[in-house]
Amino acid sequence: MARNMAGQGRPTNGDEGVRCDIRPSSEQASYLDDLVRIGLYGKTRTEVARYLLVQGLERLVQGGILKLREQAASPDEKS
């Protein structure tokens, strides 16, 4: 996993993102807890779930299932 400038946690991307609530089953939450204990994918269930989501989306893009979207310019980049 890539590291942020401080060498800790998930990489920073400058995008605060949007809220997306999910409700994993008890079994799925247990898997997330296992990965939290391993410590390579995040320090909380939320961080681990975010990491897995990003990895899954990247695989779908690489596999041609999804098309990579161009990032929208930030308001201060527009003329």
pLDDT 10s digits, 15-51 = 778 999 999 999 999 999 999 999 999 999 999 999 9
Q: Which residue has the higher pLDDT, 39 or 2?
A: 39
High-pLDDT (> 70) share of the chain, %: 72
Mean pLDDT of the chain: 83
Domain count of the chain? 1
Angstrom distance (rounded) from CA 26 to CA 28:
6
Please report whether residue 15 resides in a domain.
no
Q: Out of 2-16, 39-53, 62-76, give the one with best mean pLDDT.
A: 39-53
Give the distance between the most distant pair of CA atoms in the chain.
50
Q: Is residue 37, in this structure, part of any structural domain at all?
A: yes
Asked if the structure places residue 9 within a domain, the reply is: no
Q: Does residue 78 have a pLDDT over 80?
A: no
Asked, for residue 47, whether it belongs to a domain, the answer is yes
Answer yes or no: is 33 within a domain.
yes
Q: Is the pLDDT of residue 8 over 70?
A: no
Residue tagged 């989306």 (tokens) = 57
